Amino acid sequence: MTDEPRFGLTATASQTAGPFWHLIDFPAWADLLRADGPNAEVAGERIILTGRITDGDGAPCPDMMVELWQADPAGSYEGAFNGFGRCATDDDGMFRFTTLKPGPVRAAGNAFQAPHVALTLFARGLLHHLVTRLYFAGEALNEQDPVLSAVPPIRRATLIAQPEGAGVWRLDIRLQGERETVFLEV
């Protein structure tokens, strides 16, 4: 890749969300299917996405803001479904979203990306947010997904959620150390 010449303005620097970001935590936002929310009428496969976030010592991170962004069940970002959620981790470092399973999203040409959701993490100790993705185990499209294909095979499992009971998918996120999650620069 080549750096393009820079001109005009420079993007504002990021700073940590700190430990008190819960002032903008609205717990209902973790349920994308909430009755008074934007998606109450949208049809699809209802799923729960959950997992534990841990630090370099393996200790749970109980103060993280996790944001989710995903396509609708048809793989579109422009339909009626508003695929945005925000969730605070609990005392055990667990996040939990209720949503609809996304469909394959268009990639370049006639290709498709495997179903996935983007996850963004903010917290005390993160001067810039972290971006990763959650994929679903067993999807045929995982084999040809352009982002997963760019991840060294030995680390791909850090992006693939496993089924854990009916409609529940689990992906643990390790910020640092052994089996460290693959984070993306987008």
Residues 70-99 that bind other proteins (CB under 8 A): 70-71, 77-78, 82-84
Residue 110 touches other proteins, criterion: CB under 8 A? no
The rounded distance, in Å, linking the Cα atoms of 25 and 27 is 6
Provide the token pair at 69.
Answer: 């962004």
Q: Residue 95 burial (CB < 10 Å; 0-12/13-18/19+)?
A: buried
Residue 143 Cα to chain centre, angstroms:
19
Residue 55 touches other proteins, criterion: CB under 8 A? yes
- φ, ψ of residue 51 to 5 degrees: the values are 175, 170
Binding mask 118-147 for other proteins (x = CB under 8 A): x-x-xxxxxxxxxx-x------------xx
Single residue of 42, 48, 107, 168 touching other proteins by CB under 8 A: 107
Give 19 or 164: the residue with its C-beta nearer to other proteins: 19
DSSP 127: S
Give 10 or 138: the residue with its C-beta nearer to other proteins: 10
Give 19 or 167: the residue with its C-beta nearer to other proteins: 19
